[in-house]
Amino acid sequence: MSRIGVFICHCGENISRTVDVERVAAQVGNMPGVAFATDYKYMCSDPGQTLLKKTIQEQKLSHVVVAACSPRMHEKTFRKAVESAGLNPFLCEMANIREHCSWVHENREEATVKAIEIVGMMVERVKKNRVLPAITVPVTKRSLVIGGGIAGIQAALDIADCGHEVILVEREPSIGGHMAQLSETFPTLDCSQCIMTPKMVDVANHPKIKLYTFSEIELVEGYIGNFQVTIKKKARSVDEDTCTGCGVCMTKCPQKKIPNKFDQNIGMRTAIYVPFPQAVPNTPVIDRDNCTWFKSGKCGVCQKVCGPGAVDFEQQDRLIVEAVGAIVVATGFDLYTIDEKPKGSPIKGYGEFGHGKIPDVIDGMTFERLASASGPTGGRILRPSDGKEPKQIVFIQCIGSRAREKGISYCSKVCCMYTAKHTMLYHHKVHDGQAYVFFMDARTPGKSYDEFWRRSIEEEEAVYIRGMVSRLYQKGDKIVVMGSDIAVGVQVEIEADMVVLATAVMPQKGADTLAQKLGISYDKYHFYSEAHAKLRPVECATAGIYLAGACQGPKDIPETVSQASAAAAKVMTLFSKDKMEREPIVARVREAGCVGCFACKKVCAYGAVEEKEIRDRQGNLIKVVAYVNPGVCGGCGTCQATCPSKSVELDGYTDEQIVAMIEAL
Amino acid sequence: MDARVKKKKMILSQGTMDVDFVRKVEALSDTSVRRCFQCGKCSAGCPMATFMEHPPNRVVRLLQLGQWRRILEGRSIWYCASCETCSTRCPNKVHLASIMDALRKLSWDAEGPSKESYVQLANKLFLQNIRSYGRQYEMRLAAVFNVKSGQFLKDLSLGPKLLAKGKLKMFHSKNRNLSEIGKIFTRIEEMRKNGEAL
C-alpha cells in the first residue's frame, strides 16, 4: 500500500487566485493511497522544500506529488529535495496546475474541479512509478574534431590546451580551410594569413593534437563517451615522416598547368603540390588524376629528385580506428555557383548572369584570391580574361541567397560585410577605379560592422545602389550590368570591366553523407541541426556530438571562433568526470515479447537501438531482439509508440502509467 | 517635368557621375551627401514633398550619383521652403536645407536646366533691369519674362489693375548713381571670375 504525500502550491497568488487550493488539498487527502495532503504558499522556497523533506520522514511517505507549476520549471528542484529525504527521485511527480489550469481559466469553481482532476491523475500515475537507478556511462577522454578550418582548429586547440587528446581530421591536404584563402578580414582589415597561420602551426606542434590531413571519416560507431571512429587516410604518395618539405619535387614536376582549387582555379599548380606555401603539414601530395606517372607509368621525376626518398607511388589508402568520447563537427561551408545545374537539382543557376560563362564575372572567394598577397596575381586586381586592371568594378550581393526560387531562402549573412571589405580593398589597390555595389539590404549587425560598411561608402567612395541586377551580358570587352536604383526609381546601366558576385554560403558537399554516418540531423539545405536553437546551440540532438562553425549555418569568423570555443567547453564539461551520469528515462525492451521487426530501430532519432542475439544454453540462436543502449537513448518514446507488439517501454512513461492517468479521469 | 526625362535610364560611369559639382554642393552647404543612407526621414516630414517630383531623399540620392542635372531640371529645389525640418531630424546630420540652398545658388550658372520653373530667368531679368536702370522696371520685367518664357498672355489681366493703382509704371525711371551701380556689377563679375564669389 502506497503512502502518497500531496503538496499543493499557491505559487504566491498565481494558483490560489483561481484555484481553491485548500479545497484541493482536502479532496485529494481523501483519495485512496494518499496519506497526507497540504497546501503551502511557495513550495519551491527553502521552507517549502523543508516542509516536503520533513513530511516525507514524519509520515513515512512512499511517493510524492507536488501540484505546482510546469515540471520544466521545478521538477529537478523537487526531485532533488525528495532524494535528500532518502526517497528515489523518480518517485516524485509534478501536477501542473499553473500553466495547465490557473493561468488559463477564470472561473474559480471550474478551475478548482480541474485542478483536483489533474492532481488525481498524477496520484494514480505516481502509484505505478518505479525506482529508477541512475545510469552511469564511462567516458573516453579523447576528442575527435572533424574539419580543419578555423572552427576545427579553435576547438582542437581549446580542448588540447585543457590537457585532453584531440584527433583532428581534415579532408584536404592542408588544414586552414576557407579562412586561409581570404586576403583580409572584416571589420579590422587584418591579414587573414597573418592571424591564421600561427594557429595552424600551433595545431601541428601541439603534443596533444594528432593531425590527419587528406583523410575522411569512414564510419562512426558507439555513443556518448564511447565512440569508435574509422578514419580513411588517403594515399598521399609522399611519406609524411621522411619528407622535409624542401619543395624540389614541385619545382621539377613537368605538369605545371593544373588549376589550383585553393586559388579558385585561377592559379596553376603542379601534379605534386602543396595547396599554398604556408600549408600545414608542409608535405606535398600527388594528384593522381593529373600525374603522368599514374596516367602512363612514365616520368617519376619527383621520386628521382627527392633527396630523402619520401615519394612513394605504391602508397595505399589506410583505415585507422580511434576511440573517442566526444565529436566536434566543424566541416564548414561551400559557395554556390551560378552555373547550370543538372536536372532534378533543387538549386538552379543564373542564366541572366551568363551561367558562369562570362570570364570576368567572378565570385567573392575568387576576388579574395586576387586581392591576396599570396594569390596568383600577387595581390593585384586583374581580370582573368586579359590580365588588365578593371577600372569599373561592379559587386552584386545576394546571388542565390534570399531567392526561394533558386532553392535558398536564407540570408548568407557574411556577404554584406565582405562586399564592403572588397570595395575597400579595391579602392586601396586601384586608386583611379570606381566600385559599384548592387544590394537589396545591407545587413551589418555586429560589433563595429555597420561603421565598417558606412566607411566603405563615406570614405572609400563605393557607390551603393539599392536594387537587384536584372541581367549581365558581354559587350566587347565590357560587361553591361542592367540594374535599377529603387531610391531614384529609374533603371541603371553600367559598363563594367569586372563583376563580382556575392554567392550564397552553402554546406559542404557531402554534408548529408557525413551526418548519416554520425547519426545527426540536418535541415533541408544540409546544414546540421542543433538540439535547441536558443538554449543548446552548439550541441546536436545526438549526445556527445557538438557543432562549430558554418556547417550549422552561415557564420562569420568571430561567430565561428566563439562557437568553436563553446563546443570545446561542452566537450571539457563532459570530460570533467570519469563517468557520466544521466537521467534514467530510457526505453527498455521486453525481450520475451519482441519479435525482432526493428521498427523501433528505423524510427529512433538517436541511433540507440541495437540488435541483440538470444541463444539457448547450447549456443543456438533462438531469436534476434532489439536492445536499447541506455547511454545513447534520448528518452523520446517514439519506439514505444511504434512497437507493434508493445514490447518497448519508456521508463517513467510506461503504458501502465498513462492508462492509470486516463482511468483516473 | 517631362516624365520621360525623369524616368530616363542612368548610365553610370566615372564620366557621367559629376563628382566636382557634388563637391561644390558639399563645400557650399558644409555637409556630406555620402553620409545619407536613404532612411527617408527628410521626405517623411517635408511639408512640400507632395509638390516635388524628387522628394528630398531622392535629391540627396541623385547627388550621391552625381546626377545633378536631374535635380535642376525639376522644380524640387524651388519648392523647398527652407523650413529646415529635414536638417533638424536627419539622423546622419546631412544638412538638407543647406544643400537645397547650395543647389539654388549653383543653378545660376548651370546650363539648360531650370527651364520649367523659370525662377532663374526671372532672377536674371530682374538683375538686368537693375543694371540698366539702377532700379526695377516692372513693365519690362513682365513683358520680357512672358516673351522669353513663351507664355505671352501670362497674368495679362492683372496689368490694367496694377496700372490703375500706380503699381506698374508705363515708362522707366533711372537711378542717379547708375555708374556706381554698374561698378558693383563689374566687381561681382570679377570676383566670380577669380572664384572669390559664386
| Cβ–Cβ < 8 Å for A138, A325 | no
All three cell numbers of B3, joined, read: 516624365
Q: Which of B10, B35, B37 is nearest residue A485 as measured by Cβ atoms?
A: B10
pLDDT > 90? residue A302: yes
pLDDT > 70? residue A658: yes
pLDDT > 70? residue A343: no
pLDDT at A501: 96
pLDDT > 80? residue A324: yes
Contact flag A495-B13 (C-beta cutoff 8 Å): yes
Q: Strand, helix or coil at A333?
A: strand
A512 Cβ neighbours under 8 A, 6+ residues apart: A522, A526
Domain-terminating residue out of B78, B106, B134: B106
Average pLDDT over residues B32-45: 95
Q: What is the DSSP track for chain B?
A: --HHHHTPPEEESTTTS-HHHHHHHHHHHT--STT-----HHHHH-TTGGG-SS-HHHHHHHHHTT-HHHHHTSSHHHH-----HHHHH-TT---HHHHHHHHHHHTTT-SS--TTT-HHHHHHHHHHHHHHHSS--HHHHHHHHHHHHT-TTTTTTHHHHHHHTTSS-SS----TTHHHHHHHHHHHHHHHHHTS--
Percent of chain A with pLDDT over 90: 88
pLDDT single digits (tens) A366-376: 999 999 998 99
pLDDT > 70? residue A25: yes
Q: What is the Cα A296 distance to its own chain's centre?
A: 43
Question: In the structure, what pLDDT confidence band is assigned to residue B110 with cuts at 50, 70 and 90?
Answer: confident
Q: Which of A461, A488, A494 is nearest residue B61 as measured by Cβ atoms?
A: A488
Q: Strand, helix or coil at A631?
A: coil
| Cβ–Cβ < 8 Å for A238, A286 | yes
Q: Which of A458, A491, A495 is nearest residue B35 as measured by Cβ atoms?
A: A458
CA distances A590 to A139, A594, A596, B170, Å, are 28, 6, 11, 118
Average pLDDT, chain B: 89
pLDDT single digits (tens) A512-524: 999 999 999 999 9
pLDDT single digits (tens) B147-196: 988 888 888 899 899 999 988 888 888 888 999 999 999 999 999 888 88
pLDDT at B2: 57
Within a domain: residue B162?
A: yes
Task: Say how many domains are in chain B.
Answer: 2
Kindly state whether residues B85 and B125 are assigned to the same domain. Answer: no
pLDDT at B169: 87
The angle formed by the CA atoms of residues A471, A474 and A478, to the nearest 5 degrees, is 110
Name every residue in B having a CB less than 8 A away from some CB of A.
6-14, 17, 32, 34-35, 37-38, 57-58, 61-62, 64-65, 67, 70
In the block, residue with C-alpha cell 587528406:
A214
Q: What are phi and psi of A607, to 5 degrees?
A: 65, 35
Q: What are phi and psi of A490, to 5 degrees?
A: -130, 165
Within a domain: residue B28?
A: yes
Give B62→chain A minimum CA distance, Å. 7
Kindly state whether residues B73 and B124 are assigned to the same domain. Answer: no
Identify the H or E element spanning A446: none
Q: What is the DSSP track for A476-523?
A: TTEEEEEEEETTTTEEEEEEESEEEEEEPEEEPTTHHHHHHHHT--B-
pLDDT single digits (tens) A119-135: 999 999 999 999 999 88
Contact flag A485-B61 (C-beta cutoff 8 Å): yes
CA distances B103 to A453, B25, B59, Å, are 28, 7, 10
Kindly state whether residues B52 and B93 are assigned to the same domain. Answer: yes
Determine which of A490, A492, A497, A499 to mutate to test the interface with B (most B C-beta atoms within 10 Å): A490
In the block, residue with C-alpha cell 584531440:
A166
pLDDT at B112: 59
| Cβ–Cβ < 8 Å for A407, A347 | yes
CA distances A4 to A34, A48, A72, A99, Å, are 5, 17, 22, 23
Within a domain: residue B3?
A: no
Nearest chain B Cα to A391, which residue? Answer: B14
Quick count: other Cβ atoms within 10 Å of Cβ A635? Answer: 17
Helix axes A192-205, A150-161, angle to 10 degrees: 40
Q: For residue A531, what is the DSSP state? A: S
Q: What is the torsion angle, in degrees rounded to the nearest 10, for the CA atoms of residue A124, residue A125, residue A130 and residue A134? A: -150
Within a domain: residue B83?
A: yes
pLDDT > 80? residue A347: no
Kindly state whether residues B101 and B22 are assigned to the same domain. Answer: yes
Q: For residue A98, what is the DSSP state? A: I
Nearest chain B Cα to A465, which residue? Answer: B65
* Closest-CA residue to A332 (of A561, A110, A492, A644): A561
Within a domain: residue B126?
A: yes
Give A453→chain B minimum CA distance, Å. 11
Within a domain: residue B9?
A: no
Identify the H or E element spanning A205: helix A192-205
Give A-chain residues touching B17 at CB under 8 angstroms: 434, 463
A374 Cβ neighbours under 8 A, 6+ residues apart: A193, A276, A277, A278
Kindly state whether residues B31 and B78 are assigned to the same domain. Answer: yes
All three cell numbers of A262, joined, read: 585553393
Give B-chain residues touching A465 at CB under 8 angstroms: 12, 65
Kindly state whether residues B94 and B145 are assigned to the same domain. Answer: no
Kindly state whether residues B25 and B68 are assigned to the same domain. Answer: yes
A75 Cβ neighbours under 8 A, 6+ residues apart: A94
pLDDT at A45: 95
pLDDT single digits (tens) A139-168: 999 999 999 999 999 999 999 999 999 999
Helix axes A449-458, A415-429, angle to 10 degrees: 40
Domain-terminating residue out of B76, B106, B136: B106
Exposure string (b/e) for A225-259, b if CB count within 10 Å is 16 or more?
Answer: bbbebebbbbbbbbebeebeeeeebbeebebeebe
Kindly state whether residues B126 and B90 are assigned to the same domain. Answer: no
What's this model's pTM, rounded to 2 decimal places?
A: 0.80
* Whole-angstrom distance, CA of residue B172 vs CA of residue B166: 13
Within a domain: residue B114?
A: no
Domains defined along chain A, listed by start: 4-127 (3.40.50), 142-323+546-575 (3.50.50.60), 333-506 (3.50.50.60), 584-664 (3.30.70.3270)
Instruction: Determine how β-strand A184-185 pairs with β-strand A190-191.
Output: antiparallel
CA distances A175 to A145, A180, A281, A484, Å, are 12, 9, 8, 42
Amino acid at A288: R
**Tally of residues, chain B:** 198
| Cβ–Cβ < 8 Å for A512, A523 | no
Kindly state whether residues B186 and B156 are assigned to the same domain. Answer: yes
Kindly state whether residues B74 and B127 are assigned to the same domain. Answer: no
pLDDT single digits (tens) A515-559: 999 999 999 999 999 998 888 999 998 889 999 999 999 999 999
Q: What is the DSSP track for A17-53?
A: TTS-HHHHHHHHHTSTTEEEEEEES-TTSHHHHHHHH
Average pLDDT, chain A: 94
Q: What is the torsion angle, in degrees rounded to the nearest 10, for the CA atoms of residue A163, residue A169, residue A170 and residue A175? A: 20
* Whole-angstrom distance, CA of residue B67 vs CA of residue B84: 23
Give A-chain residues touching B93 at CB under 8 angstroms: none
Contact flag B64-A463 (C-beta cutoff 8 Å): yes
pLDDT at B154: 87
Could you tell me if the ipTM is greater than 0.90? no
Nearest chain A Cα to B55, which residue? Answer: A488
* Closest-CA residue to A435 (of A446, A422, A447): A422
Q: What is the Cα A47 distance to its own chain's centre?
A: 43
The angle formed by the CA atoms of residues A331, A371 and A289, to the nearest 5 degrees, is 55
Kindly state whether residues B139 and B170 are assigned to the same domain. Answer: yes
Q: What is the DSSP track for A295-316?
A: HHS---HHHHH-SS--B-TT--
Within a domain: residue B94?
A: yes
Structural domain span for residue B57: 18-106
* Whole-angstrom distance, CA of residue A96 vs CA of residue A534: 24
pLDDT > 70? residue B114: no
pLDDT at B122: 87
Kindly state whether residues B24 and B93 are assigned to the same domain. Answer: yes
| Cβ–Cβ < 8 Å for A38, A25 | yes
pLDDT at B9: 92
Give me the CATH number covering residue B93.
Answer: 1.10.1060.10
* Whole-angstrom distance, CA of residue A562 vs CA of residue A330: 13
Question: In the structure, what pLDDT confidence band is assigned to residue A405 with cuts at 50, 70 and 90?
Answer: confident
pLDDT single digits (tens) A557-615: 999 999 999 999 999 999 999 998 888 999 999 999 999 999 999 999 888 999 999 99
* Whole-angstrom distance, CA of residue A356 vs CA of residue A335: 13
Across the strands, what pairs with A448? none
Question: In the structure, what pLDDT confidence band is assigned to residue B111 with cuts at 50, 70 and 90?
Answer: low
Give B36→chain A minimum CA distance, Å. 9
β-sheet with A215-223: strand ranges across: A215-223, A226-233, A318-324
* Whole-angstrom distance, CA of residue A598 vs CA of residue A602: 7
